């Protein structure tokens, strides 16, 4: 049953949710710089170790469309505590892993928890706060969501260099236990539950469709677009996802209500969301490639370079949330995207002597831009919807982000690979005496520059779309 929620209870609820979200997001990005070390420990190749990230994203992406049903069927307490238990069991499993299979299983279990918590939190905010206050609240949550991946590379690099990799998971356990205890004591239910029926056919279609698309694009970076498995899974994924969408449109009680796209602002923010997510995910992959392969920096040094920008991003998030409530979406989006365009333009001409400080300042500029967009983008999209479509809007948002992240990373890595190979052949023709190591480094640097030129085009596209946003957020009559 829905409980009476006072202002004090709202704050307690937010603190518990933000703590859970922080741990979930931290866990998601903690392994990124640890993969090469784990390859040696478990004696597996890059294509296999990549499953620790790909598998996590697959489970997450497949589960997200089902969250709208879960939120109708189960209470806030049940879902949140369940997601934390999955995170706890998965972390314990990973910490005790004797082989790669056990580690991968633990990551998959963790992903179930992560898949539930993000859409759950967005929906809770729609229920608790009127549209004119959501920007500030989303900004506060953005602090946790951004700060976790901000410290993850540096924290992970430090743990791997000075302690055992198992502490990446052991360290999470006491904090997850604390959040579970707080949830049992303070978490209250927000919305009424209903005896909703699960459309099994839609679940199967969404699992196969989204799963195949995510797998296909995630594999394209390492296997290449000519690989038969990559092309087959992408085509199959598109066909099955189309069938899933058609079924949702015809259904009286859809698993994922696609009528959210009838609201123009939600559709517009979804398109901007796709481009921003592609840029953000691709930069997190591309910059470490340039730093480590092109310049020879360690994983820890690469993590340290990303840290100042990400910390500034996190601390700006609550401020931009309040600015959204005051000024609306358009001025924030245009300001943020201008910063992003400048940051992409600044790395289109990378060399082997581009300074560490220059790259750090450029990354700070990018992160300032993202702080004006990330959470206001979610708020603007969800504010455009009536409250009853909130959980579906949140689920669609998260599904779009998962797909855009996978597709963006694959496309940018493909651009990088093609251009690096092309530069390698050009350099070897022009300079026959160049060493293999120098050839690999220079081709990696030039390939990164070309990939950033492609990302500049994406950011300019997002800037054009942002100009079509209304001057002030439109309020729905059905909201309170």
Q: Tens digit of pLDDT for each residue in 186-237?
A: 877 776 667 777 788 988 998 899 888 888 887 776 677 788 888 999 999 9
Buried b (16+ CB within 10 A) or exposed e, 37-57: bbbeebebeeeebbbbbbbbb
Structure tokens at 409: 């990373």
pLDDT of residue 473: 45
pLDDT above 60 for 1 = no
Percent of the chain with pLDDT over 90: 24
Q: Label residue 5 by pLDDT band (50, 70, 90).
A: low
**Which conformational region is residue 65 in: left (phi greater than 0), alpha (psi within -120 to 50 degrees), or beta?**
alpha
pLDDT above 50 for 2 = no
Q: Tens digit of pLDDT for each residue in 378-437?
A: 888 888 888 778 778 887 887 888 788 778 877 888 888 888 888 888 888 777 777 778
pLDDT of residue 235: 94
Q: Tens digit of pLDDT for each residue in 239-249?
A: 999 999 999 88
Q: Tens digit of pLDDT for each residue in 430-456?
A: 777 777 788 878 888 888 888 899 999
* CA atoms of 111 and 31, how far apart (whole Å): 13
pLDDT of residue 191: 66
Percent of the chain with pLDDT over 70: 94
Residue 137 C-alpha from the chain's centroid:
19
């Amino acid at each position: 049953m829905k409980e009476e929620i006072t202002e004090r209870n709202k704050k307690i609820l937010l603190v518990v949710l933000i703590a859970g979200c922080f741990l979930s997001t931290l866990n998601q990005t903690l392994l990124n710089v640890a993969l090469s070390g784990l390859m040696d420990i478990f004696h597996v190749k890059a294509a296999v170790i990549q499953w620790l990230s790909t598998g996590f994203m697959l489970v997450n992406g497949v589960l997200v469309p089902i969250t709208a049903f879960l939120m109708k069927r189960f209470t806030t307490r049940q879902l949140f505590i369940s997601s934390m238990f999955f995170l706890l069991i998965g972390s314990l499993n990973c910490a005790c892993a004797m082989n790669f299979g056990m580690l991968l299983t633990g990551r998959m279990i963790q992903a179930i928890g992560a898949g539930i918590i993000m859409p759950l939190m967005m929906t809770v905010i729609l229920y608790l706060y009127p549209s004119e206050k959501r920007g500030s609240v989303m900004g506060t949550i953005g602090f946790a969501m951004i700060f976790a991946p901000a410290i993850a590379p540096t924290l992970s690099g430090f743990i791997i260099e000075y302690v055992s990799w198992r502490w990446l998971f052991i360290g999470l356990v006491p904090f997850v236990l604390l959040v579970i205890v707080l949830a049992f004591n303070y978490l209250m239910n927000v919305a009424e539950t209903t005896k909703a029926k699960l459309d099994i056919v839609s679940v199967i279609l969404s699992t196969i469709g989204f799963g195949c698309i995510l797998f296909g694009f995630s594999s394209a970076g390492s296997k290449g677009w000519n690989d038969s498995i990559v092309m087959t899974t992408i085509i199959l994924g598109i066909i099955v996802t189309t069938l899933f969408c058609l079924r949702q449109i015809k259904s009286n009680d859809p698993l994922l209500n696609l009528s959210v796209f009838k609201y123009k602002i939600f559709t517009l923010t979804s398109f901007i969301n796709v481009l921003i997510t592609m840029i953000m995910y691709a930069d997190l992959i591309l910059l470490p490639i340039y730093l480590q392969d092109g310049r020879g920096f360690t994983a820890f040094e690469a993590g340290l370079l990303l840290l100042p920008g990400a910390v500034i991003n996190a601390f700006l998030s609550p401020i931009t949330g309040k600015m959204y409530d005051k000024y609306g979406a358009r001025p924030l989006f245009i300001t943020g995207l201008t910063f992003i365009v400048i940051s992409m333009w600044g790395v289109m001409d990378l060399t082997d002597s581009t300074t560490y400080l220059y790259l750090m300042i450029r990354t700070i500029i990018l992160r300032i831009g993202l702080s004006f967009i990330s959470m206001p983008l979610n708020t603007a999209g969800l504010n455009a919807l009536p409250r009853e479509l909130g959980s579906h809007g949140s689920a669609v948002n998260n599904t779009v982000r998962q797909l855009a992240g996978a597709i963006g990373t694959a496309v940018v890595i493909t651009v990088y690979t093609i251009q690096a190979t092309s530069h390698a052949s050009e350099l070897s023709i022009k300079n026959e005496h160049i060493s293999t190591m120098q050839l690999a480094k220079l081709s990696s640097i030039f390939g990164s520059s070309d990939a950033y030129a492609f990302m500049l085009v994406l950011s300019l596209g997002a800037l054009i779309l942002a100009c079509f946003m209304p001057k002030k957020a439109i309020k729905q009559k059905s909201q309170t």
